Structure 1
Amino acid sequence: MWVVALRSLFTWAKRNGLIFRNPTSRIKVGQYEYAVLQPLVPDQVDRSVAAATTPATRLILAFAAVHAARVAQIASLMLDDIDLGNGRLTIAGRVRPLDDLTRKLLLDWLEHRRRRWPNTANLHLLINNQTATKTSRASNHWISAAMRGQDATLERLRVDRQLEEALTHGPDPLHLAEVFGLDEKTAMRYADSARQLLMTSPGEPPGGTVREAE
């Protein structure tokens, strides 16, 4: 990692005319070895579920934990992305089947939304007091607020959902790419982590700790 830092520093210095040549340009940087992604434990998830006390936060949690949606993707969802009649929802351009839990939480939120802001012109699915009088989406800060400080943040829940898919259906990167729209490198990382976790003996903790994944 020190080579990467030095390379960035010398690149900046050369760009600003402080040096004439970058002495790190010929140094090879080895491939970064990612730690094995670790699943959340039930207590961590339970605490986040308990923290979701409103129709909006319960739906937000489901989008992350069930559909592996990013915070910005959740904030950007439009009413037209929800197709209750055909049991589908569209997240970041990808059509996904609508499970029973998410459907129930959607209906609860839509009823709350209708009663709370009956005359809003905002077509985003998730709105609040600030955005109900506008047409802009809610902020990432508002979307993630309820899970802030929890071990199972929205990002950790999203990662856990994708890892769970790899553990349940087998470490197949092609399957993961198809289900979640992951790029090849990210799908391989989830598949590799799942493979190592599945090979770990019961009671023996796999190496590494969870890190942010795509």
Structure 2
Amino acid sequence: MGIFEDDSEPSFERWLVERLKGPAPGIRWEAERWTRVLRDGGPRSLPRREGTVWLYLNRVRPALLEWSDRYDHLREVIRDDVRTYIKTLHGHQRRDQLVALRSLFSWAKRNGLLFRNPTSRIKVGQYEYGVLQPLVPAQVGRSVAAATTPATRLILALAAVHAARVAQIGMLMLDDVDLGNRRLTIAGRVRPLDDLPLKLLLDWLEHRRNRWPSTANLHLLINNQTATRTSRASNHWISASMRGQDATLERLRVDRQLEEALTHGPDPLHLAEVFGLDEKTAMRYADSARALLEQATEHSASPSGKELGPN
């Protein structure tokens, strides 16, 4: 009726006031303007998701608090201040905070709040990834046991056998299935269907036909909500059955690609061809497989370098 006036304060405003307590007034004002531009966008920037805005402000806040002990405005911060601060950080913490600081100072430079960007020419550096570890059979077994419906069993197989992402699973169409030639097209790449995935696919198609015989939705995976529409199933619904498991759909996807690298050798070109990975991702899987194979070789050898024989 247009008679209700919602005068409650948005949660973002309360959070922003709380997170900006502590910095000097001038720095606080500049950081608030930058945060609002991140959220709302500007003439030369697109709005970010609220979760991203929270991360960025949380990452720059420790530096702003430290510099507020001796400075009143961002323009007083020099390059040596930034370098001295990030020397205390390591790994992903250093990278994440430096990325956020570069965003803040780049915005301040564009808007005339300072004459020189103190983060310029400070390299973020390449992120040091750890060695990917394969899942153990017990972890996979618990996820298999949690897949109790035709849909969840097919979803698990698509992630564990074909290394399909959640979004790719949700976007699959009925036309992507070629039962006669035992093929499935995932994200534009044709994958052969082995016996188990084929059986699970046939079980799902039969269930789908019996449960929603008149649906006009052409997506392969549908549910009670999407059967009456033409939209795809949500990522939340697709991954719900594996949520809380050690072997989530994402972990199963990673494990499948790592298994390929361990079985066929740490060849990034082969991985890129099979799974459509970019160069850096394929190299990461190859490096992890190489490290795991080297560890296995070391463990199977005696201290003298000779392989251990039977007892």
TM-score with structure 2 setting the length: 0.63
Map 1:112-123 onto structure 2 (within 5 A).
112-123=207-218
Q: What is residue 64 of structure 1 aligned with on the other side? A: 159
From 207, 210, 230, the equivalent of 1:135 is: 230
Structure whose alpha-carbon radius of gyration is higher: 2
Deviation track 1:9-34 (CA, whole Å, cap 9, x = no partner) reads: 22233344433321111212322211
Q: Percent identity?
A: 88
CA distance in 2, matches of 1:53, 1:67: 20
Q: What is residue 36 of structure 1 aligned with on the other side? A: 131
Q: What is residue 209 of structure 1 aligned with on the other side? A: none
CA distance in 1, matches of 2:195, 2:261: 22
Q: Unmatched 5+ residue regions in structure 1?
A: 204-214
From 164, 174, 186, the equivalent of 1:91 is: 186
Deviation track 1:115-155 (CA, whole Å, cap 9, x = no partner) reads: 00000010000000000011110000000000011111100
Q: Secondary structure at the match of 1:74?
A: helix
Q: What is residue 197 of structure 2 aligned with on the other side? A: 102
Map 1:142-161 onto structure 2 (within 5 A).
142-161=237-256
Deviation track 1:68-112 (CA, whole Å, cap 9, x = no partner) reads: 000000000000101010010000000011111100000100000
Q: Which fold has the larger relative contact order, with Cα–Cα distance below 8 Å and residues 6 or more apart in sequence?
A: 1
Assess, with a 3 A threshold, how the Cα gap between structure 1 residues 7 and 147 changes in structure 2: closer, same or farther.
same
From 252, 269, 282, the equivalent of 1:187 is: 282
Does residue 53 (structure 1) correspond to residue 53 (structure 2)? The answer is: no
> In the alignment, residue 7 of structure 1 is paired with which amino acid?
R
Structure 1 residue runs of 4 or more that deviate by more than 6 Å after TM superposition:
none
> In the alignment, residue 26 of structure 1 is paired with which amino acid?
R
CA distance in 2, matches of 1:139, 1:20: 47
CA distance in 2, matches of 1:114, 1:143: 19
Assess, with a 3 A threshold, how the Cα gap between structure 1 residues 16 and 55 changes in structure 2: closer, same or farther.
farther
Q: Unmatched 5+ residue regions in structure 2?
A: 1-94, 301-311
CA distance in 1, matches of 2:290, 2:230: 45
Range with greater deviation from structure 2 (163-172 or 10-19): 10-19
> In the alignment, residue 107 of structure 1 is paired with which amino acid?
L
Assess, with a 3 A threshold, how the Cα gap between structure 1 residues 15 and 57 changes in structure 2: closer, same or farther.
farther
Q: What is residue 84 of structure 2 aligned with on the other side? A: none
CA distance in 2, matches of 1:43, 1:15: 54
More helix by share: 2
CA distance in 1, matches of 2:251, 2:115: 44
Assess, with a 3 A threshold, how the Cα gap between structure 1 residues 16 and 116 changes in structure 2: closer, same or farther.
farther
Q: Secondary structure at the match of 1:66?
A: helix
From 189, 206, 218, the equivalent of 1:111 is: 206
